[in-house]
């Protein structure tokens, strides 16, 4: 049988420090088969964003390997990894309209005008933003902005997407609704998704597998059920409030 793309993400013995400070990530090992939905949960400063930035190629590990689909990624610059990242504050371009925001990554890839138009329309439909293409970013609600950010992340057909606290700037009611919408959109895709949050309800709602980070280490890894039923120690228990 043909050897198909396995799109597996492997982190091996990853260590990371900034400047001469102490280690921010300590011996991280993680294996994510294709289409895994991973939630990364942990208190502020535990290294969640750093972990994503390393996978994305925005930072380099001090030691250890990052492999994707069997390929060593360490020396690949961010734009060659074909990974999508959505940040907390969305980082949309305020001077561009919805269409141009979503088209951004496609233009960078060098797609022609017709293909860009087609793909942006697909993304607008998928995220329920049909009819919004000419709107400016400052004419959108928080929830609509979030969907534009998601559409922009998904447009270039990434092999893996990472969402860093994508809901944290929104109020509680909207958060809940958008979490449902976001999960619905993502569950239709068969790509690996890494979702960072410090809210365990969100982590459990979005992840098949959850890792709990504490001071740069993976304190526990498991399904939501495993974590709730058999928290490893008192710290995990307290953190999850179980």
Q: Pick between residue 14 and residue 120 the one whose CB is nearest to ligand ATP.
A: 14
The answer to whether 38 contacts ligand ATP (rule: CB under 6 A) is no
Q: Pick between residue 48 and residue 119 the one whose CB is nearest to Mg ion.
A: 48
Give the contact letters, 193-232, x = binds to ligand ATP (CB under 6 A), - = no: -----x----------------------------------
Q: Which burial class, exposed, middle or buried, applies to 63 when counting CB atoms under 10 A from its CB (0-12, 13-18, 19+)?
A: exposed
Q: Is residue 108 a contact partner of residue 79, using CB atoms and an 8 Å limit? A: yes
The answer to whether 47 contacts ligand ATP (rule: CB under 6 A) is yes
Closest CA to 75 of 86, 84, 83, 66: 66
Stretch in the footprint of ligand ATP (CB under 6 A) among 38-46, 62-70, 170-178, 222-230: 38-46
Name every residue whose Cβ is closer than 8 Å to that of residue 86 and which is 6 or more positions away in sequence: 149, 150, 152, 153, 161, 162, 163, 164, 166
- How far is it, in rounded angstroms, from Cα 193 to Cα 207? 9
Instruction: State which H helix or E strand residue 72 sits in.
Output: strand 71-72
Token readout for 40 is 């990364």
Give the residue, chosen from 36, 39, 46, 49, that forms a contact with Mg ion under the rule CB under 5 A.
49
The answer to whether 153 contacts ligand ATP (rule: CB under 6 A) is no
Residue located via tokens 């919004």: 132
The answer to whether 235 contacts ligand ATP (rule: CB under 6 A) is no
Partner that binds at residue 75, options ligand ATP, Mg ion, none, CB closer than 5 to 8 Å by kind? none
Q: Pick between residue 49 and residue 153 the one whose CB is nearest to ligand ATP.
A: 49
Partner that binds at residue 46, options ligand ATP, Mg ion, none, CB closer than 5 to 8 Å by kind? ligand ATP
């Amino acid at each position: 049988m043909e050897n198909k793309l396995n799109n597996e993400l492997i982190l091996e013995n990853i260590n990371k420090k900034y400047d001469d400070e102490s280690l921010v990530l300590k011996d991280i090992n993680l294996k994510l088969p294709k289409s895994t939905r991973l939630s990364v949960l942990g208190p502020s400063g535990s290294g969640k964003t750093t972990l994503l930035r390393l996978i994305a190629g925005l930072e380099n590990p001090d030691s250890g390997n990052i492999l994707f689909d069997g390929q060593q990624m360490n020396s690949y610059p961010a734009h060659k990894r074909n990974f999508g990242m959505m940040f907390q504050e969305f980082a949309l371009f305020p001077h561009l309209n919805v269409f141009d925001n979503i088209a951004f990554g496609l233009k960078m890839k060098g797609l022609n005008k017709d293909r860009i138009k087609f793909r942006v329309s697909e993304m607008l439909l998928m995220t329920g933003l049909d009819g919004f293409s000419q709107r400016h970013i400052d004419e959108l609600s928080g929830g609509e902005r979030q969907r534009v950010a998601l559409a922009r992340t998904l447009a270039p057909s990434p092999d893996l997407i990472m969402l860093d606290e994508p809901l944290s700037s929104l109020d509680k009611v909207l958060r809940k609704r958008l979490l449902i919408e976001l999960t619905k959109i993502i569950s239709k895709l068969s790509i690996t998704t890494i979702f960072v949050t410090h809210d365990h309800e969100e982590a459990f709602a979005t992840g098949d597998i959850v890792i709990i980070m504490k001071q740069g280490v993976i304190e526990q890894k498991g399904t939501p059920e495993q974590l709730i039923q058999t928290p490893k120690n008192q710290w995990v228990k307290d953190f999850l409030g179980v």
